[in-house]
Structure formats: C-alpha cells, structure tokens
Amino acid sequence: MIRLTTILILAFPMLSTADDRLPQPDYHRQPGDPEWLASVVQFHGHLGPAVVAGARIGMIGLHAVEAKGYFDVEVTCEGPMAKPPQACFLDGVQVATGATMGKRSLHWVQADQILVRVKNTRTGRIVDVRPTPALMELLAAFKPQVKAEAGHGPGSKADDEHLAAVARKIAAMPDKDVASVRWWREGE
C-alpha cells in the first residue's frame, strides 16, 4: 500500500508536465531580437528568412489598414509558396495578422510574384503589400546552396546559423526597406 501511494505521487506530476508543454523550438533570444520574433519561432518551429519576411509583411499590412488582427482581417497571399522553404512565409503572415487556416481567413494563390493583400473587414479598407527588391534579394540569397535537396527543417549547424542570421537581418530592416504598400477600396 505504501509502495502504491509513492508511485502515484511520483508519476502523476511527471505525466501532467509532459502533456501540457508546447513543442520547444531551437531558438535562443539575442539582445537585438524584437519581442515578436519568439512568437513567430514558437509557431513555426525554426528561425528562417521566409517566415520572418511573412511576419514583417503581415504586420505592415495589418497596421496599414488599421486592423486589430484575428477577427477583423481577410488575408490573401500570392506567390510561389507551394512548399517550404518559400511556403514558410505563410506561417509568418498568420502569426502577424491573426488571419489563419483555422478561421478560413487566410488564403493562398499560386503566382510568380509575392503579394499580400490585407482587408479590414470592418472598414472595407484593403492594402496590397509587396516585398521590396532588397527583401527579395535576401530571400533569394539562401535558396541555391541551402537545403536545396533536403527541403526543410533542421539542416547542418552552419546552414541553420546562416539562415538565422539572414532572418535577423530581415527582422531588423526598416518598414520602407521591407515592403511597398498600396491602399484601395473594393469597387475602386
């Protein structure tokens, strides 16, 4: 009887802590990292250029239409995002705008060029956000040599560090260097 009690006390806390823990990404916050970066990595699982670019462009679009996010936005992403790492962009947009797969408020359309259209569903205001050539250069820089065959996920340490460095550069760029914006309303 004594033995059974001991087992229950020891085992129960172990089970409960194992079950209510989110997955832990390999991310160590650096002094220059903006606060939102941890949320992006928590959602997506790694610190990469495309997911951070999606987050930056999503935030720019959300603020441009003066939406709060989550329930007052409809977002359409156009671009070559059929698979990772390019598709990682979509996760950044979801974290930044709160428009998600689950709410059916995030849409993706295959296209050659990246364009993120954010609509404030309360006001009808719409903005088209396009990455600048400077951002596209950073996004293209890692494609040829990194994970071309492996696809996605943790790669070699050198590759991962390189990707994280490019991602941090994108995270720190001023808005005007990240994207250009154009406002319009439906019917215009």
Q: Which residues pair with 116 in a beta bridge?
A: 77, 129
Task: Select from 53, 60, 88, 106 the one that contacts Zn ion (CB under 5 A).
Answer: 88
Q: Taking the complex as a whole, how short is the minimal distance between the CB of residue 175 and Zn ion, in angstroms?
A: 23
Q: Which strands, in side-by-side order, build the sheet including 179-185?
A: 106-110, 73-79, 115-120, 125-131, 179-185
Element (H, E) at 18: helix 2-19
Q: Judged by CB, which is closer to Zn ion: 48, or 98?
A: 48
CB count in 10 Å sphere of residue 98: 20
Q: Taking the complex as a whole, how short is the minimal distance between the CB of residue 166 and Zn ion, in angstroms?
A: 12
User: Which tokens in the block code for residue 28?
Assistant: 């160590």
Q: Taking the complex as a whole, how short is the minimal distance between the CB of residue 65 and Zn ion, in angstroms?
A: 26
48 binds Zn ion (CB under 5 A): yes
Interacting span for Zn ion (CB under 5 A) from 12-20, 48-56, 136-144, 163-171: 48-56
Query: How many CA atoms lie within 13 Å of 171's alpha carbon, on the beta-carbon side?
Result: 26
Q: Which residue is nearest to Zn ion (CB)?
A: 88
Interacting span for Zn ion (CB under 5 A) from 40-48, 53-61, 100-108, 135-143: 40-48
Q: Rule CB under 5 A: which residues touch Zn ion?
A: 48, 88
